[in-house]
Amino acid sequence: MLVVFALLLWVKASPVKKANRMLGLSFSLLAVLNAWMLFLYHAYNGKMDFLLSWYLPLDQVLIMFIGPVIYFYLLLLFDCSRIITPGQVFRHALPALPALVYVAYFATLPLPERLGMLLDTSDPKRWMDDVLDYLF
């Protein structure tokens, strides 16, 4: 459903088209995040080591980018003539830098160690996801 909303916002003609594209981008990020978490849960519940070997913790990076996208959406919604510069985007994306560093570190670990980390931390991830679901 999020993909359909994202596509609608990208192609729909509107006086606030730039703002709609930002909202469509946030819906796209949420759809990718949901697909990524579905992949993780499917691989973990099925104890499929082959699929778990392809997993990288990109969910935290995607979550960190959703906030700035919604901020830019609100800016564009209230001021349609505003231009967003690459410097502004970079400055708002900086909080995701530690998550990107962790993804790079995680990707360089040997496969048995990565699988061990994933299997050891799977219950806390479920707990965090449940708390976020209850919050929203």
List the one residue out of 111, 127, 125 whose CA is nearest residue 51: 111
The span from the CA of 44 to the CA of 64, in Å, is: 24
Helix (H) / strand (E) containing 51? helix 49-52
List the one residue out of 25, 19, 13, 14 whose CA is nearest residue 79: 19
Number of separate domains in the chain: 1
Query: In terms of residue numbers, what domain contains 41?
Result: 2-135
Q: Can you give the pLDDT of all 136 residues of the chain as single tens digits?
A: 778 888 888 888 777 878 888 888 888 888 888 888 888 888 877 777 788 888 888 877 888 888 888 888 888 888 877 788 888 888 888 888 888 888 888 889 898 888 887 777 666 556 556 655 655 5
Q: What is the pTM of this model?
A: 0.69
- Yes or no: say if 59 and 33 are a contact pair by the CB < 8 Å rule: yes
- Yes or no: say if 79 and 121 are a contact pair by the CB < 8 Å rule: no
